[in-house]
Amino acid sequence: MKNTLKGLGAVLCVALPFLAQVPAGAATPATRSAADQALVQRGAYLAQLGDCAACHTAPKGKPFAGGLPMSTPMGRIYVTNITPDAQTGIGGYTEADFARALREGVAKDGHNLYPAMPYPSYAKVSDDDAKALYAFFMHGVAPVQQANRESDIKWPLNMRWPLKFWNMAFLEKGAYRDKPGKDVAWNRGAYLVQGLGHCGSCHTPRGVAFQESALDESGSAFLSGALLDGWFASNLTGEHNTGLGRWSDEDLRTFLKTGANRHASAFGSMTGVINNSTQAMNDQDVAAISTYLKSLPPASGNGAAPYTYDPQATKVSLDRPAHDAGARVYTAYCMHCHGVDGRGFAPMLAPLAGNPNVLAKDASSLINVTLNGTGDLVINGMPSPFPMPGFAAVLDDQQIADVLSFVRAGWNNGAPALGVAEVAKLRQSTRAAR
């Protein structure tokens, strides 16, 4: 989040006429104000860890004023205003009201929030962190009067009362508790990944009731990758081919801070996570997240043997592209960035050889990024000089299927070919989403 903190240091009380009457050790107005400032600033950092801006700030909208559309299987919902405006935001919320909405998904007036708000993850947020977040949203965010928009979900699916039963079945209440036998860094990483970071909301597959299949490492599906809004959120387990098995601790920390490393680059909604959240994390929290994620055992994957690089067959095809439809498209549109060797120019330009997103069974992200490109990574205020462009207006469905099939087979990637129907379906759905 780029917004500056506003309203800090508000005067809370009137100075006492005689300082001698203040009990020993009691906070004076000045020290109370300093303490409140520190709490607001801490809350601002926690809001970055939670990536609150990414969902609650619409493109070109005011910070945290809501209005961002989110697609669900039942229809679009629109994210709410969480500025301290009394009429349209959360200005009338007490700290208890705020904590209940954050961790239980129940608004002040008692209606249930859709679990697109990741309260099953935020349920693990500690009391102290909930308090700091409340201080930030009440005193560090400018109030914006902007009415919330009703969802596009049709009756009877738009009724909220069934969510009470959904919560009974799938919401695990209670703040995160340190796991015995694990060190401080591991537990801090687990707290951030499972709680404020809500990584499972995107990276864990959903069940028949749209619930996350697992909420922590005790479930084998946890962070094993999932399809969401036309993107396949990557496998974050230790799986060798499609997960983080080949990533070093330094690789992972670099990705969290910059959105790119020698293996892959951020795409889709992960670009916003890097821009608004992880690049702002302090080094200790980045290291803790890496420690936790690197401890997760392999899960899911593509079932293939561990990847090894082999350029020979692909080099032959690229030397004679006239005989291969995919090679023809690659040489015309892709090779100048990703190279004959498929290794790109990491981290500036993503490699394709051995890239976990190329090896994944679900090719949605490859199709989507080829059709629509991806947003700019903005690190320390500087946009990436080489964002992935979209080719929807340049290449037809057959050409995209050809080139992605070529890439998925190339450099010993060994992933299956794509059909034209897969490309056409995603082209149509992403066009409709726009």
**Within 10 A of 324 (CB to CB), how many other CB atoms are there?**
18
User: Domains, the chain, ranges and CATH?
Assistant: 32-143 (1.10.760), 184-293 (no CATH), 312-433 (1.10.760.10)
Is the bond preceding residue 311 a cis peptide, omega within 30 degrees? Answer: no
Residue 232: phi, psi to the nearest 5? -100, 110
* Cα–Cα distance measured from residue 136 to residue 56, given in angstroms and rounded to the nearest whole number: 15
With cut-offs at 50, 70 and 90, classify the pLDDT of residue 434: low
On whether the CB atoms of residues 276 and 266 are closer than 8 A, the answer is no
How many angstroms separate the CA atoms of 6 and 60, rounded?
A: 19
Find out whether 238 and 220 touch, Cβ atoms under 8 Å. Answer: no
Interatomic CA distance for residues 232 and 226, integer angstroms: 5
Distances from the Cα of 159 to the Cα of 77, 116, 163, 270, 363, angstroms: 13, 15, 8, 31, 34
Sheet strands (E) in 277-413: 378-379, 382-383
Q: Which helix (H) or strand (E) holds 69?
A: strand 69-72
Q: Is the per-residue pLDDT at 325 higher than 80?
A: yes
Tokens at 271, concatenated: 């670009």
Of the chain, the percentage scoring pLDDT greater than 90 comes to 80
Q: Please state the rounded mean pLDDT for residues 187-200.
A: 98
14-37 tens-digit pLDDT: 232 222 333 333 344 455 588 799
Using one digit for the tens of pLDDT, what is the confidence trace for 309-320?
999 999 999 999
- pLDDT band at 77; cut points 50, 70, 90: confident
Residue 150 pLDDT: 87
Q: Residue 363 burial by CB count (10 A; 0-12/13-18/19+): exposed, middle or buried?
A: buried
Q: What is the pLDDT of residue 14?
A: 26
Mean pLDDT of 391-402: 98
Given a contact cutoff of 8 angstroms between Cβ atoms, the answer to whether 298 and 280 are in contact is no
- Please give the Cα distance from 318 to 342 (Å, whole number): 11
Mean pLDDT of 161-173: 94
Mean of pLDDT over the chain: 90
DSSP class of residue 145 equals: -
pLDDT above 70 covers what percent of the chain?
92
Residues 211 and 153: their CA atoms lie apart, in Å, by 18
* pLDDT recorded at residue 31: 53
3-state secondary structure of 182: coil
CA distance 322 to 92: 67
pLDDT in tens, 342-353: 999 999 999 999
Q: Tokens standing for 2?
A: 């780029």
Which of 20-24, 251-255, 372-376 is least confident? 20-24
Q: How many helices (H) and strands (E) does the chain have?
A: 18, 6
